[in-house]
Chains A and B, each alone.
Chain A
Amino acid sequence: MTDQTPHSRPPRRFNPAWLGVLPFALFVSMFLIAPTLNIVIGAFQTPDGSFTLANIQGLFTRSIMSSYWISIKISVASAAIGSLVGFLMATAVVLGGLPRGLRAPLMTFSGVASNFAGVPLAFAFLATLGPLGLVTGVLRTEFGINLRAYGFNILSFWGLTITYLFFQIPLMILIITPALDGLKREWREAASCLGATGAQYWRMVALPILFPTIIGTFALLFANAFGAVATAIALTGSSLNIAPIMLFAQIRGDVLGDPQLGYAMAFGMIVITAVANVTYIVLRIRSERWLK
Chain B
Amino acid sequence: MSFLKLSHLEKSFGASHVVRNFNLEVERGEFISLLGPSGCGKTTVLRMVAGFEKPDVGSISIAGKDVTALGVRRRDIGMVFQAYALFPNLTVAQNVGFGLKVQGTARSEISARVQEMLALIGLPDKADRYPYQLSGGQQQRVALARALAPRPKVLLLDEPLSALDAKIRVSLRNEIREIQKALGITTIFVTHDQEEALSLSDRVVVMHKGVADQIGTPFEVYNAPATRFVAGFVGTLNTLEAEVIDAATGTVALGAQRLVLDRPLPPGPVTLGLRPEMLHMEGGPAYLTGRVMASDFLGSVVRVRVDVAGQILALDQFNSTRRAPPRVGEELRFGLNPSDVLVIAPAG
Contact = CB atoms under 8 A, between A and B. Distances in A.
Contacts of A187: 85, 87
B88 A194 contact: no
A186 B50 contact: no
Given A186-B81, A186-B83, A204-B102, A192 B73 contact: yes
Interface of A: 184, 186-187, 189-197, 200, 204-205, 208-209, 289-292
Given A186-B81, A189-B79, A289-B132, A194 B89 contact: no
Nearest to A289: B132
**Chain B interface mostly helix, strand, loop or mixed?**
mixed
B32 interface: no
Contacts of B85: 184, 186-187, 189-190
B336 to A, nearest CB: 48
Nearest to A201: B102
B89 A189 contact: no
B87 A200 contact: no
B73 A195 contact: yes
Contacts of B73: 192-193, 195-197
Contacts of A192: 71-73
Interface of B: 50, 52, 71-73, 77-79, 81, 83, 85, 87-90, 98-99, 101-103, 132, 143, 146-147, 150
Given A189-B79, A194-B98, A205 B87 contact: yes
Q: What are the nearest 5 A-B pairs in CB distance?
A: A194-B99, A186-B85, A290-B88, A196-B102, A208-B89
Best-buried of B71, B89, B147 by chain A (most CB within 10 Å): B89
Contacts of A195: 73, 99, 102-103, 150
Contacts of A193: 50, 72-73, 77-79, 147
B98 A191 contact: yes
B232 to A, nearest CB: 32
A209 B132 CA distance: 13
Instruction: Point out which of B78, B83, B87, B101 has the most chain A C-beta atoms below 10 A from its C-beta.
Output: B87
A80 to B, nearest CB: 23
A187 to B, nearest CB: 6
A194 B146 contact: yes
A200 B85 CA distance: 17
Nearest to B85: A186
Give the interface centre of A184, A195, A208 by most chain B CB atoms within 10 Å. Answer: A195
A288 to B, nearest CB: 11
Residue from B81, B90, B143 whose CB has the most chain A CB atoms within 10 Å: B81
A204 B89 CA distance: 9
Give the one of A194, A200, A290, A292 with max B CB within 10 A.
Answer: A194
Given A191-B87, A194-B99, A196-B73, 13 more contacts: A190-B81, A193-B50, A194-B150, A195-B73, A197-B73, A205-B87, A205-B90, A208-B89, A289-B132, A290-B89, A290-B132, A291-B88, A292-B132
Nearest to B74: A195
